[in-house]
Every structure is written in structure tokens, then in C-alpha cells.
Structure 1
């Protein structure tokens, strides 16, 4: 039986059966767990983390190493240039393409069979889009995109927010006057389609996984344990060349408001390189920012993920618990 249902072969019509979803805060060990499961079960790993999709920042975003990538097929890691503002919708379209291309199928001579698709990461909106679908957005012509980004630079977020309130009051009221990126996005959509971004968001898409056969896991480590892991991991990142990555990223001369430029550690290390902070202070600030981010992730997972998610806490034997759950589902 194929792991992909497809009717008509159109993009996005396929759905993944028997998927495994593993969510968790940064540094919780979820990537190593996904790799182990994929290796033992002949599966593939799909990145479900917004920052690990960007190139250049291999070390600073804790992407799997080259050796780990070689052990089993990995998808959607490092495939987006930092100059591109990658979105949830773009990620979902990339998953659709994987489905359409048969990336989750093994094809021995004369037959084919499913390979377990293990989606792993820390971006809650990606998991929600995968499991619940997401509204389609209109294509934005480059001329419109360039226009509103220019206006943002020239006039500032507050002025554009007043324009949005006048043209689309409902969307404007949902956004803070300082949230330049989302204000520009709402204006782009309105300009390109003549419809409010809220109307587009209300039109849900279809899930890309078969929820009935999917197994959902979220790792919830103890806070003290996670803090130790975060601090040790950032020290290893520095040893493995994180500073050189930040130099290469800086040399690209990108807009500092781009998502990739907001990866934790980028601004802190840039400030140290510019002499605005000492390196020890920059490192400590990056570790603090990582801890704060992990706390926000854990809070989101706790409140937004439903009862179908099996919560794995410190003290649980995570690998054996997941293995037992998968065995009982077959």
C-alpha cells in the first residue's frame, strides 16, 4: 500500500499516511531522535523548523551535520537562501512538491512501498499547517513586493499601518503599528488581489497528512535540563564555526529585517564583531535569547497542540516510548 494518496496527480492532492510528527523546543534532542527512528525504520526526515531551511547558517541553526544527512534521506534543510523571506505557506508548498515527486516512496523493481516520513522541528505553525491545512495566498508580483518594501524603508511601519487601517481596517486592527513585516504583507495581498488578507486566511486548505494514521509526539524536557543543553550546544556551535557563518551572512549585505537575519546568535555575534559588545557578553546574550525562545516554544506547544499529541517529559524513556507506540499502531 502506498504511503501517498493521490487523485488526479495535481499538486497538493496527495496525503502522507503513517507520518510521524516530533515537535519540541530547541536543543531538546528531537533531531537526533528523528534520525534514529528513520534509520531503524527505513524512513526519511523532513525539516519542520523555519530557521533550519536557510542556507549559510548550518551550525548556528543546529542543522544535522553532513555525516548525519548521509545516514538517511533528509529534506528541506538549507535549501532557501537567506535573502528569501521563507513562510509557512512556502514550506507547505515544498512539502506538497515532495509528495508529488514521490519522495516518501521506495520503488524496488516492479512495486513500490511507503517509507515512514518523520517531520521534526520546533516551528508550531508548520505542524499546524501540515495537520490542519492552511489558506492559500495570492501570488504577489515582484513589482508590488518591491514597492511596499521600499515604502516601509522610506516611511516606516507606523505610516504604513495608518494606510492599512484606512484601506483594510479589520486587518490593520489585528496588527501592531511596529510590526512592519506583517503590515507590508497585508498591504501586498490587498494590492495584488483586491481582497483582505483576513479573507484569504479564512479559506482553509486541506491537511497534507492522514491524521488517523499519524502519530504525534512533543518533547517536554525539564527546564533545568534544557538550559544546560542550550548552553553546552551554543559553546559547541562556536567551536564548530558559528562566528564564521555570521561573517559570511553579514558579507551578503542583507536587510536586517529578513527572517534569516533574526536567527538567534546572529545579531549578538554581529554586535561583538562590530565592537559594540564584548564576545563573552554577546555569547551570554545569545544563550539568554535561546532560553527565552525555548520557553516560548514550550508554551505554544502546551497550549496549541491538541490531545492527540503524546507528551514526552524528562524521565520518560523517549526512544522506547515512541518505539512502543509505533509498534502498537502496526
Structure 2
């Protein structure tokens, strides 16, 4: 078996000797590490497995590729038609990123409900501002949260929501199972019914054709007044024009966005003007444990692939997750 690995700077910057040794102990002798695109296109011609990225040009050069391991959880960039139609198996960080995404979702929500950014910027004890913040701070207990997408991220958010005393509803194509602290799971065609009950919407689903602009004007109109929307998965799932209209009208009390439709968000984007929109630069998908988790997934899948066993984190390329 021949494996080509192209590390990602911010996840796996280099393949260390002890990591190569682990792969060799699994019986994988032919391992090629590439650091530039020219080398990748050359070496992928005879590769059985690729760890790294995929695009149409790489696929054109891949003569015998059977499996791609993405060094990420979101794989929307991988899902072009020719790759979807191919027999190549795609695996990802699926199921490994929920904990830190769940933490970040609540960091954004609490920043909004407790006015943390405004308080931090104040840098003094102006009594008028302090009293305004005290009057406008909000509790979460007793509110209802809708979790859009009940995969690993959604389950982690639901667990945290339950700890904060939130009633949890969920929207997911698969309604057959869910954690005990989710009161009800409905299919996406019932999204507006759930929105009508929800003070907070957490976007926890992947971006696919079905979820692009899923959270739009009709959802915001259905929500009770003074709601919040939080997105920690992918930009483009929230219709940002509709979001700003809901903020302008006062229907929404705030939004927490770690991801937006265009990244990095341009300086002149109108989302920056809102005091009640908390934006972070796509940093939710990381923690001190992320690298260890994805490398363990890579090593485990290499061993499984070598033994012709089922892989972990397999993506249904047609569904997009």
C-alpha cells in the first residue's frame, strides 16, 4: 500500500519520525510526505491513500486512489461532482470536534447574554453603563434552544444546554435516536415549527446543498422576539441578509458567529456595525486536544485500511456528512 501525506500547517505541520514509525509498525512501508502541490500531483498518481486535501486537479492525477482522509471535519470543499461519483472513500474528523465547538457556541451565547464584550471594552466603572448592563443581562435557564444538526457538535451543544437549564429541541434528518436531554427531534421540514418555540438557535450542521441559507427570514420571523442565533460550523447556512434584517427590526437580540459566508470577513461588511453581533475568526474548531485527536484518527484508519477493516469517520459523499 502506498500512502501520500500532505500535512496542513495549522493542524499537522510536519510528520515526525515517531509518527512514521507507528505507520510502519502497522505494515505501511511506502509512505511519502509532500509539502508542495507539484510533489502532491506527482506522487498521488500511484497512491492508494491520501491524507490531506482533494480537488478536481488532484483527482485527475489520482490513478489508483481508494481512500482520502481529510484533516478537517467540514468537507464541503471536497464534494465536487467527479469526486462524489467516484468510488474513493472519504473520511474526516467527523465526531471529533464537538467538544470544542460546543464550548465555543456557549462562549458566544454567554458573551451576548451577559454583555461581556461591552463590559470588557468599557474599561471603567461608569455607573450609568454599569447599571444598564445589569438591567439588560439575561439568564438562560427556562429558555428553549433549537439545535440544527444532531451530530457530534449538536450532541455536545445539547449536553451543555441541558446543564444551563435550557429545554432542548433538535432538527435533524435522522430522528431515530438522540441524547436523553433532547426533548424532541424533528426532520428539517418541521424547522419552522421548532423555530416558533425557540429562543435560541444553534447551527451545528454541515454545509450542504440542503442547508445553504437554511436559517433565513422565515425562520427568524417564526422565532419569538428577542431571540439569539449561534453558528459554529460553516458560513452560508445562515442567510446573512435576513439575519441583518432581523437584527435591524429588533426581532433578534443578538447573533454569535464564528463562521460567515465570506472569510475573512471584509472590513466593510455591515455585520461589523452591530454591537449585538459577536464575531470570532473561525476559531471554534480548535483546542489543545484537536491535533492529538485527528492524528489518532489518521493512525487508526491507516491501520484499518491496511487490514481491510471499516474506517472511522466515513462521509456519505452524497449527503455531505
Q: Output the TM-score relative to the length of structure 2.
A: 0.27
Structure with the largest fraction of helix: 1
Structure with the largest fraction of strand: 2
Larger RCO, structure (CA 8 Å, separation 6 or more): 1
